[in-house]
A and B are shown apart, each in its own frame.
Chain A
Amino acid sequence: MIKAAVTLRYPGAADDALQLDLNLPGQGVSAIFGPSGAGKSSLLRCLAGLQACRADIRINGVIWQDATSCMPTHRRQLAYVFQENSLLSHLSVQGNLDFAMKRAAAPVSQARYAELLDILRVGELLPRPAALLSGGERQRVALARALVVQPKLLLLDEPLAALDGTHKRDILELLDTLRDLIEAPLIYVTHALDELTRLADHLVLLEQGHVVAQGPLRTVLARTDLAHRLGDQAGVVIEAQVSARDPRWRLMQVRWDNGQLWLRDSGEALGSAVRVRILARDVSLTLSEHVDTSIVNRLPVQISEINSSAEDAMAVIRLSSGQADILARTTARSLDHLGLEAGMSVWAQVKSAALVR
């Protein structure tokens, strides 16, 4: 378990920059998501001990900070990847890796070292001066350096933010590949929902220094009361399995308990676990099954919750499709017009769904 109660107030400020209580699982990827200025990076700096704050921080049973003691950063056995420039510019790539390995409490084995360098394609960069690498290369080396020391906690502060589209996808792909090799809990700060829907298992929503919501990714994304904060990005993720393919139309079917969807075939093997993201704005509701529509995915669902307010033209509805939750966004007028209520069985038309993993 990671438990961190953090209060941060900058000198001269009237309000706390951070005032929160984090409870994260002791392994897997936890994403910290929020608009810029929410305090995401400050939180990471507090966890690392780079920013002085009042805090109580326990990482899998080890006290990093409490009311009476504060372990300095260099003893915390963590790894930190900054938005850019995480490397020591006076050293080569090899020098950077050696610097970290030499000071690590329990660096990786030779075999794992070689494997990590291979996955991250760092081998050919080793003799290069760190100062002369491109942005994408720098982040690959920073990730390699973070992983070879086997930290107790891995902190990534928007590692993709300074990269262009191609490199962003490349690093995202690598992070996904590395997930199974990383034993330490990983905290990933981002303001991009597409990154976290792919990587995260756990989600913390941060706003103005406060935790708005935290919990398993699927649960938090299925909350109707948070949907308006995410706007057009609101929507759920569903863990599913590839269950069939239709070669003629180049489609594949993914299935979960009592639910299924057809997606464009992206080549995953039958039976492989996938994660599907459905945006609330792409789901509409009908009282009966419409067969005379171009929409392929029509799911029988039950309304479990309706969230609407008098001030808002749009309502958010949570639907259950077997074990999975789906969010739908409709106008309040349609809600009234169709007489929708919690408990009703209706049909959800899913206009598009994306395979995120």
Chain B
Amino acid sequence: MNISSADLTALLLTLRLAATVTALLLLVGLPLAWWLARTRSRWQAPVAALVALPLVLPPTVLGFYLLLALGPQGPLGQLTDALGLGSLAFSFSGLVIGSMLYSLPFVVQPLQAAMASLGDRPLEIAATLGAGPLDRFFSVVLPLIRPGLITAAVLGFAHTLGEFGVVLMIGGNIEGETRVVSVQIYDHVEALAYAEAHGLSAVMLGLSFSMLLALYLLQPRGVRVRA
């Protein structure tokens, strides 16, 4: 197995990307999942469908639209340009945005399922004990959905690690900025450097498997229903 310094750079970049994306997705995903789990709005179904879209959409399609949106002519591109940030396409920030959209359902759906299975009772109990809405969310909802929270974080992280199509479309191939492991492996294969491709691929396989293994070992079997 050969791990070159370029491989290592790609690996560290990928981990940094996955960590950033997971943290941001939990921040965005918690309120979004809460809304999806509790609302009776007629917008619930369209929003739920939108969130699930990356599950079925080819990553290249998502990447293509993102490229248009983030590029200098796109609405987001013009916005970031006006703010003096320049174009986000072919940058780490652009990758973060793309990966967040790509991994959104993997974070939101476990959270939403855990929140929906809570039912009203724990919240009603907390309300009668004097806890306001925000208090209830942090002191009752979060501790009760911990298994779902862990699942969401691990799936979001693992899924971002393996991203390829979206990165290729909007990130390109800039070392240390957008060249993640999957792209690096692709480059190795293109160059017929199979030994190098093997090295990185094995690392990814091991990493992904150990994360999922940890998840399934640590989580209770089935849905935990407590009295």
Residues of chain A whose beta carbon lies under 8 Å from any beta carbon of chain B: 48-50, 72-75, 77-80, 82, 85-90, 99-100, 103-105, 131, 145, 149
Contact = CB atoms under 8 A, between A and B. Distances in A.
Contacts of B122: 88-89
Given A50-B127, A74-B126, A100-B130, 20 more contacts: A72-B132, A73-B124, A74-B127, A74-B130, A74-B131, A77-B130, A78-B128, A82-B121, A85-B227, A86-B125, A87-B125, A88-B126, A89-B144, A89-B226, A90-B144, A100-B129, A103-B129, A131-B226, A149-B129, A149-B130
Nearest to B227: A131
A78 B128 CA distance: 6
B210 interface: no
B127 A73 contact: yes
B127 A72 contact: yes
Given A88-B140, A90-B143, A48 B128 contact: yes
Interface string B116-140: 0000011011111111100100011
Given A90-B140, A90-B143, A85 B121 contact: yes
Contacts of A74: 126-132, 135
B139 A99 contact: yes
Contacts of B121: 82, 85
Contacts, number: 61
Given A99-B139, A131-B227, A88 B130 contact: no
Given A50-B124, A88-B140, A103 B131 contact: yes
B128 A79 contact: yes
A145 B130 CA distance: 12
21 contacts: A48-B128, A50-B124, A50-B128, A72-B127, A74-B127, A74-B128, A74-B129, A75-B130, A79-B129, A80-B124, A80-B128, A85-B121, A85-B227, A89-B122, A90-B144, A99-B126, A103-B130, A104-B130, A105-B130, A145-B129, A149-B129
Count class of interface residues, chain B: 10 to 19
Given A82-B121, A88-B122, A89-B144, A73 B226 contact: no
Contacts of B129: 74, 79, 99-100, 103, 145, 149
A74 B124 CA distance: 9
Nearest to B132: A74
A48 B208 CA distance: 49
B130 to A, nearest CB: 3
A174 B140 CA distance: 29
B122, B128, B139: most-surrounded residue (chain A CB, <10 A): B128
Nearest to B136: A74
Contacts of A79: 128-129
Shortest 10 CB-CB contacts between residues of A and residues of B: A103-B130, A73-B127, A80-B128, A131-B226, A89-B226, A90-B143, A100-B129, A74-B127, A74-B132, A74-B130
A89 B130 CA distance: 17
Nearest to A142: B125
Nearest to A76: B128
Interface string B162-198: 0000000000000000000000000000000000000
A265 B7 CA distance: 91
A163 to B, nearest CB: 14
Q: Which of A88, A104, A131 has the most CB of B within 10 A?
A: A88
A51 B127 CA distance: 12
A185 to B, nearest CB: 16
A219 to B, nearest CB: 32
Contacts of A145: 129
A85 B129 CA distance: 14
